[in-house]
A and B are shown apart, each in its own frame.
Chain A
Amino acid sequence: GAVVSQHPSWVICKSGTSVKIECRSLDFQATTMFWYRQFPKQSLMLMATSNEGSKATYEQGVEKDKFLINHASLTLSTLTVTSAHPEDSSFYICSAGGLAGGPWREQFFGPGTRLTVL
C-alpha cells in the first residue's frame, strides 16, 4: 500500500517551454501532497505544499507563477514548470501524506521526475 507514482519519469524540453509533471497516489487518498526539488548531491528542498481543492502554499524563494501547482483531487496533483530555463533542470519529487486513518505524519514519495531543460 501507499504507492505514489509520477509521470513522466524523465523529460527533456527546450528553454521557454512548459512542462507538466503528474503525481498520483495509487491506492490511497492523501489529504496533502508535497513537491520537492533535489539538485545533484544536495538535500531535498520543499517547494510547496498543497491540499486538495485549495491553493498551494509555497516555500520562501519559490516562484508561484513559475511553478504552478494544481491539486484537483485527493489522488492527483500536478506541477507545471512554466517557461522553463536550464537552471530549472533538476530532480522533482512529490510526496503524499495525511492518510486518512493511517500514519498521517508519514509521507510516501513518488519515484521522481528528471527534468532537463536545453
Chain B
Amino acid sequence: DQQVKQNSPSLSVQEGRISILNCDYTNSMFDYFLWYKKYPAEGPTFLISISSIKDKNEDGRFTVFLNKSAKHLSLHIVPSQPGDSAVYFCAAMETSGSRLTFGEGTQLTVNP
C-alpha cells in the first residue's frame, strides 16, 4: 500500500526554466510534508517542508504547494540549475508520529 506516490519517475528541464515535481498521498492523517534531494550513494538532504495548516512555503528557489482537498503537493524549483539534477523524494508524517513515509522518487535532470 503506497501511501505516498510520485507518479513521474523522471523529469527533464532546461536550465533557467521551472521544474515542477508532484506528489500525491492517500493517508488523511498526514499533516507534515517534506521534500528531500538525494544523490547516488548519499543520504537524502532536507530541502523544504510544509505543515498542513499552510498551503505554500517558500525558501529561495524552492516553493512547496499543498492542496489538502486533493491530497496533492508539488515542489517548484525556479530557476532550475544543472546542480539541481538529483532524485527528489517527497515524504509525509502523521500528526502523532515521527516516522516518515517516502514516495518513490523523481529523477530530475536539468540540462545546460
Binding site for B on A (CB under 8 A): 4, 6, 32, 34, 42-46, 49, 91, 93, 95, 97-98, 105-112, 114
A-B complex: 9 closest residue pairs judged by Cβ atoms: A109-B43, A43-B102, A43-B104, A44-B102, A109-B44, A111-B43, A112-B43, A110-B43, A93-B43
Given A43-B89, A43-B103, A106-B49: A97 in contact with B98 (beta carbons within 8 A): yes
Count of A-B contacts judged by CB separation below 8 Å = 49
Given A44-B102, A105-B98, output 7 extra A-B contacts at Cβ < 8 Å.
A4-B43, A34-B99, A43-B103, A44-B44, A46-B99, A98-B98, A109-B43
Residues of A within 8 A of B101 (CB): 46
Tell me what chain B mostly uses at the interface: helix, strand, loop, or mixed. strand
Residues of A within 8 A of B104 (CB): 42-43
Q: Give the contact-size bracket for chain B.
A: 20 to 34
> B45 at interface (Cβ–Cβ under 8 A)?
yes
